[in-house]
Amino acid sequence: MSKRLLLIDGHSMAYRAFYALPAENFTTAQGQHTNAIYGFATMLLSLLTSEKPTHVAVAFDVSRKTFRSEIFPDYKANRAKTPDEFRSQMSYLHELVSAFGITQFEVEGYEADDILATIAKRAEKEGAEVLICTGDRDSFQLVNEKTTVLYPKRGVSDLARMTPEAVQEKYGMSPTQYPDFAALRGDPSDNLPSIPGVGEKTAAKWVVEYGSLQELLSNVDKVGGKVGQALRDSIDNVIRNRELTQLVAEVPLDLSIDALAWAGVDENQTNPIFDRLEFKTLKDRMKPILLKNSVKASEPEFQLFTDQMSEGVLTPAELDSKIAGHTGAVSLAFTLDDEKLHRYAVAFSKEDVYLVHSSTMGDWARDKSVEKIAHDAKSLARTNGLAGVVFDTSLAAYLVNPGVRAQEFKDVQERWGDGSAINFSSPEQELLTSARALFTLKDSLTRELKERNLWELFINMELPVAALLAQMESVGIAVDRKELEKLASYFQGEVDRETKAAHEAVGHEFNVASPKQLQVVLFDELKLPKTKKIKTGFTTDAESLDWLHQKTGHPVLTSLLRIRETKKLGTTVEGLLAEIASDGRIHTHFQQTVAATGRLSSTGPNLQNIPVRTEEGRTIRNCFIAGKGYVGLLTADYSQIEMRIMAHLSHDEKLLKAFESGEDLHATIAGQIFGVQPHDVDPEMRRQIKAMSYGLAYGLSSYGLSAQLDISPPAAQDLMDKYFERFGGIRDYLKVVVEDARKTGYTETIMGRRRYLPDLMHDNRQRREVAERMALNAPIQGSAADIIKLAMLKVHAALEKQELKSRLLLQIHDELIVEVVKGEELQVSELVKREMGNAYPLNAPLDVSAGLGLTWHEAAH
């Protein structure tokens, strides 16, 4: 049997994997980053499966100190320090390669490419076919009829086959000429200097025209123009570049090619490391390359997504008919253009998938008995009434790894799929292959959810909440356009008036929005005290202007602060006006997979950012009204929910008694801290204790408290000591929650929602302290998120059960907003308060207040 040798540049490909896959997507519960290992492993599995090598070897760099750095001390000197997150994965990478039964090499003083060149040349002499997988283009010089380089075009999954013909086509030269070309071009990544004014085009032209670098340099005086002079000035650099780019094919290696023979993987060796690294999905993907005597050796259960599989185009009516005769779930892949559907794919199995060119879906889409698997189903449901979604890969991936800012389908497929690539050759192929992939993703993510005890949270909370949010988004909330337009005009008028006042205060016009001009006016002309030093001078941010105003009271600062305040309010109003739909309502998008704590956020527009603390801010809320056919808005929110959760989690008896008393919580606590009766607590005492109580839930330090209360750090520490002396249960809880998270790698809410915090074990103190504050905050914020989601579901279910026409519109922080039909006011108010109050049995019972009004502001309570 002929030999087929696969050679891999370990460092090069692992490094590419590290930067191709987001680190936050790939960490174990203990905080070990695994993105480089995972990317390398998936690439290795793919190569072993598709290329079917008979012999395999991997080469690694030992260090940056090689014979090249002795020739040129600045060789690769421009490269940044290897990230700690990558370096921590290298030992696992070596262990993984060994577990695969693959021989690995590293030789002091040489680079991995030199080792691969040496092995390749020996294998060629034995008549072997050689494949070299590397991200270093210098390896193109090794390409010939027997040797092909597999070069990554994107990440580590998309590899270009660089044959002699491919090198000729791309560079216009043969592989043997490539080192000459590279020497002339230079290489910034290796810190090899280029010739000024000479790029790849000119370098290639010279090599082709003269045949070789040696011939070019022999005729260097004949090269005209500025580039010719630049070449003559750079001859020493070019000659050195040529020496450094030449790969060494005589590295001292004690090997025979036969010793690199590879027959397959023994899962008894790979499974333990996969388990430690939490690579569960990779186990199934190894089946095609298992040793013949391996316990579970069998044919692969997955197929690569290719055009050979059953697929076709159906009309909506044909799809309706096919679904009617189908039992079991279907997967649905779709893309939206400005929220409009143009085409979608439906799969009945991995092998049976169809494309539909239509902007509508049949009754099956709204039929709950037709079970559906999708990714980000809510985005489609809000405009198409999708129902019966039994699995959403976006929500599942979010619960498994809530620290990832976005759950894009390609990222979820890359992390939890079976290695089959999504076909991006056309929009149609992307939909077809995505629909197939959803079945595998459902299986792997279901396994993950159950192993992490998140299945109940997924099925009973996140999925139904997504369906409810889609309804709420579809309904939207009515606004008074005319009132918003009046406000926009008013705020712009205030900006114009204060801008004129600022000019008068200084004595000339200037751009109030230009930090550079503000610096000149404030610090050069008016000689005001300097603020914090920044690169461009001194900061003029809002906090600094406020500090200057308190210090000097200068009228220009009064105007500048007012301009910023009204400009911000005006921008908010303009944003709302831009989002009013043809039905006179605003249909925000609730983001369910963004906040790591489980909190919802809102975009398009952000309704959670509507001001409430100032009178002018409240006028904006006054523009949100009950729609036609409804008599008002009911708002209901929780009182001091974070503190109640703190009492529940910490079991602090004194804090629980403070809630039981029914008195003003902060005054009661302040009385205990300062040794006075609650009625003798003055506003400043109450303010300090309120800041302390809430700050502790966010990991507030004594320094942070001192800044917030404008007191000295020692005074702040003294206040914290007194607080913890009185409320020892809180102190103990805050200590234990961080210690437990450091052991397990995550925190949990009352409903079992996890937040993974790998930085708790980080060497960098700043990152570790940030993670510690997150560990303090996540259980409380996350539990509040759990409770308000439970409340939403209970309120909605109760409204439906009692067949009321009033409807849930918004969830803003800890507040629910309901649009109320005439005659249902009292019933709905009682229902909402009851269901919200009974959402979860805290030891410090939930307290709900509600109000009804014609507008959002009037409904405030």
Average pLDDT for residues 532-539, to the nearest whole number? Answer: 89
User: Angle CA(658)–CA(660)–CA(661) in degrees, nearest 5?
Assistant: 70
Range of 177-186, 698-707, 795-804 with top mean pLDDT: 795-804
Average pLDDT for residues 303-318, to the nearest whole number? Answer: 64
Look at residue 198 in the predicted model and tell me its pLDDT.
Answer: 84
**pLDDT tens per residue across span 611-624:** 888 899 899 999 99
- Residue 160 three-state SS: strand
Question: How much is the mean pLDDT over the chain?
Answer: 90
Identify the residue with better confidence: 15 or 407.
15
Look at residue 69 in the predicted model and tell me its pLDDT.
Answer: 82
Average pLDDT for residues 704-713, to the nearest whole number? Answer: 87
Residue 682 CB partners (closer than 8 Å, separation 6+): none
Q: Can you give the residue ranges of every domain in the chain?
A: 2-170+247-258, 308-475, 489-578, 662-776
Structure tokens belonging to residue 260? 């690199």
How far is residue 413's CA from residue 440's CA, in Å, rounded to a whole number?
A: 9
How far is residue 396's CA from residue 665's CA, in Å, rounded to a whole number?
A: 39
Residue in this structure with the two tokens 């993703």, named with its chain if needed: 441
How far is residue 515's CA from residue 270's CA, in Å, rounded to a whole number?
A: 58
Taken in order 462, 467, 468, 472, the sign of the CA dihedral is: positive
Helix (H) or strand (E) holding 180: helix 178-185
Predicted confidence (pLDDT) at residue 377 exceeds the cutoff of 90: yes
Average pLDDT for residues 604-608, to the nearest whole number? Answer: 92
Give the dihedral of Cα atoms 698, 839, 442, 17; nearest 10 deg: 0
The CA-atom distances, in angstroms, between 139 and each of 52, 75, 177, 249, 784 are 22, 18, 12, 11, 56
CB 621 within 8 A of CB 855: yes
**pLDDT tens per residue across span 269-293:** 888 888 888 887 787 777 777 765 4
How far is residue 440's CA from residue 345's CA, in Å, rounded to a whole number?
A: 16
Structure tokens belonging to residue 169? 């086509």
Select 662-776's CATH number: 2.40.110.20, 1.20.120.1760, 1.10.150.20, 3.40.50.970: 1.10.150.20
Minimum mean pLDDT among 126-130, 405-409, 439-443, 650-654: which range? 405-409
**pLDDT tens per residue across span 135-145:** 999 999 999 99
pLDDT band at 732 (very low <50, low <70, confident <90, very high): very high
Predicted confidence (pLDDT) at residue 522 exceeds the cutoff of 70: yes
Look at residue 308 in the predicted model and tell me its pLDDT.
Answer: 41
Helix (H) or strand (E) holding 514: none
Best CA proximity match to 330, nearest among 356, 308, 304: 356
Beta strands in 282-321 (DSSP E): 310-314
How far is residue 240's CA from residue 273's CA, in Å, rounded to a whole number?
A: 44
Average pLDDT for residues 385-408, to the nearest whole number? Answer: 90
Cα 305 from chain centroid?
27
CATH class of 2-170+247-258: alpha beta
How far is residue 6's CA from residue 143's CA, in Å, rounded to a whole number?
A: 14
Best CA proximity match to 627, nearest among 819, 832, 826: 819
**pLDDT tens per residue across span 62-72:** 877 788 888 88
Look at residue 73 in the predicted model and tell me its pLDDT.
Answer: 85
Query: Cis ω on the peptide bond leading into residue 605 (within 30° of 0)?
Result: yes
Look at residue 296 in the predicted model and tell me its pLDDT.
Answer: 43
Average pLDDT for residues 448-460, to the nearest whole number? Answer: 96
How far is residue 171's CA from residue 26's CA, in Å, rounded to a whole number?
A: 37
Look at residue 292 in the predicted model and tell me its pLDDT.
Answer: 54
Best CA proximity match to 189, nearest among 116, 152, 145, 137: 137
**pLDDT tens per residue across span 217-254:** 888 888 888 888 888 888 888 888 888 889 999 999 88
Helix (H) or strand (E) holding 437: helix 427-451
Residue in this structure with the two tokens 């919580």, named with its chain if needed: 665
Look at residue 305 in the predicted model and tell me its pLDDT.
Answer: 41
Report the chain's C-alpha Rg in angstroms: 33
Residue 493 CB partners (closer than 8 Å, separation 6+): none
**pLDDT tens per residue across span 670-704:** 998 998 898 899 999 998 998 888 888 777 888 88
Average pLDDT for residues 549-565, to the nearest whole number? Answer: 95
How far is residue 232's CA from residue 445's CA, in Å, rounded to a whole number?
A: 61
- Residue 332 three-state SS: strand
- The CA-based diameter of the chain, rounded to the nearest angstrom, is 98
pLDDT band at 758 (very low <50, low <70, confident <90, very high): confident
| CB-neighbour burial class of residue 529 (10 A; exposed 0-12, middle 13-18, buried 19+) | exposed
pLDDT band at 499 (very low <50, low <70, confident <90, very high): very high
| Strands 533-534 and 372-374, bridge-based pairing | unpaired
* 489-578 under CATH 1.20.1060.10, yes or no: yes
- Residue 782 three-state SS: helix
How far is residue 714's CA from residue 225's CA, in Å, rounded to a whole number?
A: 72
User: Angle CA(845)–CA(846)–CA(849) in degrees, nearest 5?
Assistant: 135
The domain 308-475 belongs to what CATH superfamily? Ribonuclease H-like superfamily/Ribonuclease H (3.30.420.10)
Look at residue 307 in the predicted model and tell me its pLDDT.
Answer: 40
Look at residue 298 in the predicted model and tell me its pLDDT.
Answer: 39
| Strands 372-374 and 389-392, bridge-based pairing | parallel
Predicted confidence (pLDDT) at residue 205 exceeds the cutoff of 90: no
Look at residue 572 in the predicted model and tell me its pLDDT.
Answer: 95
Contacts 24+ apart (CB under 8 A), 44-51: 44/8, 44/100, 45/282, 45/285, 45/286, 45/289, 45/419, 46/157, 46/419, 47/6, 47/8, 47/131, 47/133, 47/150, 48/6, 48/100, 48/265, 48/289, 49/288, 49/289, 49/300, 51/4, 51/6, 51/131
Instruction: Report which DSSP code applies to 175.
Output: G
**pLDDT tens per residue across span 561-603:** 999 999 999 999 999 999 999 999 999 999 999 999 999 999 9
